[in-house]
Amino acid sequence: MSCIETIGAYAFRSLGYGERLLPRSDFTLCEHFTLIGSGMIWNIYFGTLAVLSGFFFANLLAVAKNSPSALWRKPAEWFIFVFRGSPLFIQFFFAYFLFLELKGISPILDAFSSAWLGALVVLFLNTSAYSAEIFYGALRSIPKGDIEAADAYGLSGWHRFRRIMWPTMMRLAWPSYTNEAIFLFHATTLVFFSGFPAWRQKGDALYYANYFADKTFNPFIPYPILAFYFILLTLLIIGLFGLVNKRLNRHIPQERRTKMRLRPNLIR
Amino acid sequence: MGFYLAFGTVLLLLAITAPLALLFGFGGAIAARSHVLPLSWFGKGYIAIVRGVPDIAFFLFFVIALDQGIEWLRHKVKCPDWDQPIRQGSDFLVCDIAKMPLGTSPQWIHEIYGFTLAVVTFAIVFGAFAANVLHGAMTAVPRAQIETAEAYGMTRRQAFWRITVPQMWTYALPGLSNLWMVLIKATPLLFLLGVEDIVYWARELGGSKTAKFTEYPHGDWRMWYFLALLVFYLAFTKVSEVVLARISARLSHGQATIGGEAQRKAA
């Protein structure tokens, strides 16, 4: 099979299109690249949706944690502690078996025990907790003068938050939030290793890399390819978040702008 | 029973890995600071490579790579006249006496070997992170302190061991405690490395799919087992937080930092 044919057969294998059987012997470099790349679709799917949806919930949580009323603050604090204090790996396992239990109750809940929804929910909750902590930290470090100025202009409540506090909070949090996003994309590789079944061998990039490593017993080819894809993805995220960072900082004099520093965390 | 022992495995892993990673980190940081160029490249390269590559892939990669590396070395030493290629298709073949551990050795040797590989993998990965933290901490020690040491006629080596190393811990502690939290949360990945840890036992004991095991006459309890693990990790994190806060207070005693200054004023 030529490389073009291989790409045709396996480019969307992770979604279930194309050749059904995975290659079994005589693996070519082209097959490695195509299948692992095909698996990246899932990583990007999980990462993108979790970041986008988690962003809104994280804002809500950060504001709730900053609230003077214990009725709001306590639940937010607990939520953040539970999701930041326990390993994501265990969260995946727990959620999967929880969803399995729920499966019997109502047919609406069936979808939760498959990876595309169940794992997404876990990732969404997890990234919300981590981002909320970042946003909360930023909210606490908004300069006092900004708030005083807003009060002096007669802004209050929602307007003060939306016009003054929120943009500053975003600006302060953005470099750390970028790291969180990168880190979330890395964490998506855990999905198919934690209970959630890869139905009909439709897995993510690490699933296929692991498949090749198991079959060839040679880790030196699939894992570097996986690393290559992830470094590309990381650069892409840094680029996109860098654009937003530029816009958030556009009113700041050039030399005082906060620099973006790449500092991905390891495991959550 | 295995389930409870597995908690011990996790704690043992943490107890061994943490100092080992700190040692790796210390070595890496010293190498990165070194004035000998290749050594400094090695230190910086080690930090950069391990930190740049996605996490879990590293764990999966390193265990096989280390295993094959050791077997290959033993193969070269023990059977120099072996003429077949080591990689035959999809097999990794070495001569029998080079196998690690030996095919004839009992089960517990295999388990110890697997555990050791896991420890080394963890130490390599977390060593790079610790190296980064310690490297930052060494440069964070105020320059004036080193200059004073030089004024007293200390050599570079003396100044490093007597002034920099005792003082750097207070700067390194926030980073190191963060790392400790991450390390705790990385322990379930032991399961992926083939060690029979708590995740393994939780799946094994909770599951009901194997009907022949009539000792477990219950349905699917895996959810509850994992809930227990979740609580275990939460409690562990909480305890660590408290202990680390104490160490931090202890270390900033008498230091020229905001924390130390606050303690001085309070006293």
Alpha carbon of A7: minimum distance to chain B alpha carbons (Å): 23
> Which of A36, A47, A39, A11 is closest to A203 using CA atoms?
A39
**Predicted local distance difference test score (pLDDT) of residue A51:** 94
**Cβ of B230 and A217 within 8 Å?**
no
Backbone angles phi, psi at A217, to 5 degrees: 55, 30
**Predicted local distance difference test score (pLDDT) of residue A74:** 93
**What chain A residue is nearest to B64 in terms of C-alpha separation?**
A219
**Predicted local distance difference test score (pLDDT) of residue A14:** 77
**What chain A residue is nearest to B192 in terms of C-alpha separation?**
A193
Cβ count near B109 (within 10 Å): 13
**Cβ of B65 and A88 within 8 Å?**
no
Alpha carbon of B89: minimum distance to chain A alpha carbons (Å): 7
**Cβ of A94 and B230 within 8 Å?**
yes
The average pLDDT across A135-153 equals 88
Q: Is B237 on the interface with A (CB under 8 A)?
A: yes
pLDDT, greater one: A260 or B264: B264
Q: Please count the CA atoms within 13 angstroms of the CA of B246 that sit on its side-chain side.
A: 5
Alpha carbon of A153: minimum distance to chain B alpha carbons (Å): 35
Distances (CA, A) of B24 to A65, A72, B127, B129: 38, 44, 5, 10
**CATH annotation of A3-11+26-256:** 1.10.3720.10
Is the pLDDT at A59 greater than 90? The verdict is yes
**Predicted local distance difference test score (pLDDT) of residue B13:** 82
DSSP state of A104: T
Q: Is A30 on the interface with B (CB under 8 A)?
A: no
Q: Is B90 on the interface with A (CB under 8 A)?
A: yes
Query: Which range of residues forms the domain containing residue B146?
Result: 2-266
| CB of B135 closer than 8 Å to CB of B165 | no
Q: Is B69 on the interface with A (CB under 8 A)?
A: no
Backbone angles phi, psi at B91, to 5 degrees: -115, 150
**Predicted local distance difference test score (pLDDT) of residue A141:** 85
Q: How much of chain A exceeds pLDDT 90, in percent?
A: 19
Residue indicated by tokens 């390390």:
B183
Banded pLDDT at A263 (limits 50, 70, 90): low
Domain boundaries of chain A, sorted by first residue: 3-11+26-256
**Predicted local distance difference test score (pLDDT) of residue B214:** 47
Banded pLDDT at B258 (limits 50, 70, 90): low
Which residues in chain B have their CB less than 8 angstroms from residue A225's CB? none
Is the pLDDT at A56 greater than 90? The verdict is yes
Q: Is A102 on the interface with B (CB under 8 A)?
A: no
Which residues in chain B have their CB less than 8 angstroms from residue A90's CB? 188, 199, 226, 229-230, 233
A90-108 pLDDT, tens digit each: 888 888 888 877 777 777 7
How many domains would you assign to chain B? 1
**Cβ of A266 and B186 within 8 Å?**
yes
B205-230 pLDDT, tens digit each: 665 555 444 455 555 667 777 788 88
pLDDT, greater one: B46 or A237: A237
Which residues in chain B have their CB less than 8 angstroms from residue A268's CB? 182, 185
Banded pLDDT at A128 (limits 50, 70, 90): very high
Q: Is A48 on the interface with B (CB under 8 A)?
A: no
| Range among A192-206, B104-118, B136-150, B210-224 rated most confident | B136-150
* Packing angle, helices A29-66 and A205-216, rounded to 10: 140
ipTM score for this prediction: 0.72
**What chain A residue is nearest to B178 in terms of C-alpha separation?**
A265
| Residue B194's CATH number | 1.10.3720.10
